Amino acid sequence: MNKNILVAPLNWGLGHATRCIPIIRELEKNGFTPIIASDGIALALLKKEFPHLTSLELPSYNIEYAKKGENFKWKLIKNSPKTINAILSEKQLVKKWIKEHDLKGIISDNRLGVHSKKVPSVFITHQLTVLSGKTTWISSKLHQFFINKFDECWVPDVNEIPNLTGKLGHLKNSNLNIRYIGVLSRLEKKVLEIKYDIMILLSGPEPQRTILEEKIIEEIQNAEETIVFIKGKVEKEQIKEQKGNVTFYNFMQSEELEKTFNESEMVLCRSGYTTVMDLCKLQKKAFFIPTPGQFEQEYLAKKYKREGLVPYSRQDKFSLEDLNSVPLYRGLPVMETEINWKQLLLLFECE
């Protein structure tokens, strides 16, 4: 019997796509056939990871970052008509694909229009509360309105304390059908010899990814440490460059990235939640530079610093010397990472 499941991550940096990798793997292990749907670099990454799977293109949400963090919210508001059009278009496409591809279920990672009343539909998010400054209550209510259209909402975290998402992923009162599934990571902890003092991992939409890349390159010019620098630019071919004691890659696929994480003493990266889950699973110490103006990343960075787990710096204030503070912090806590996939995927077994 055909058991096609549509897996559709949002194209916003690489985090939504990469945290769908373990979901796609588990679907295959449990006898389902995943069909990938996204756009831009998220789709390009998943096509490289799963070249044997059918992939479909969804309309872009046209998420763009402002060059100045304080303008980020207004940029999103300005782009909202394009985003709304994309959501309406993806609803029409999903309706068509259910027939064309005989879909038995949908897993949407933050794509608001990818759901259907005809097949079980799951929404994945770590943001039940969407921080947006003074408008947080509106953005959160709007997000929860969309989530309510899905059969289940999977939050990749634990429900108890300590947890990783804090107020982002935990509501005091909610009528949503929430399932806390545990920490979701495509990577595994391995005991390998340390090869790099610092691993630098970039991601996220432009122009902020490039701004941070240029800032860090300037900072590490005279560094004595052995550094591996992964730029987070998914291109047709992988490019590796050696400049002194720094090894540059444009991107890495899962297997190589897992090895590099395990070979690194510490990690310098954004405080994006997918990266946080990877660090938690691998038990690696880190230093965070949240994306300017992205309230969620700023909240997480402040939360972890306040709890004595991971230090952070504002992008414009960062200097390489800041990394000296990393050993003073405990690192992210050991969390429940065993996910009961058989139980979760029962939703799609209904006739």
pTM comes to: 0.92
Per-block mean pLDDT, blocks of 10 residues, the chain (351 long): 92 91 97 97 95 96 59 55 82 97 97 96 97 90 95 96 95 92 95 98 88 96 96 94 96 96 98 96 97 94 98 96 97 85 92 53
Nearest alpha carbon to residue 123 among 110, 139, 113: 110
How far, in Å, CA of 306 to CA of 130, rounded?
20
Backbone angles phi, psi at 33, to 5 degrees: -115, 105
- Whole-angstrom CA distances from 217 to 65, 213, 223, 231, 337 are 21, 6, 10, 11, 34
- With tokens 């304080």, the residue in question is 70
- Whole-angstrom CA distances from 43 to 51, 127, 190, 195, 222 are 11, 22, 28, 31, 37
| 3 alpha carbon, distance to own chain's centre | 26
Structure tokens at 156: 């990749």
How far, in Å, CA of 140 to CA of 28, rounded?
34
Question: For residue 84, what pLDDT is reported?
Answer: 81
Question: For residue 325, what pLDDT is reported?
Answer: 98
Listed in sequence order, the residues at least 6 apart from 63 whose beta carbon sits closer than 8 Å to its beta carbon are 11, 12, 76, 79, 83, 205
Listed in sequence order, the residues at least 6 apart from 160 whose beta carbon sits closer than 8 Å to its beta carbon are none
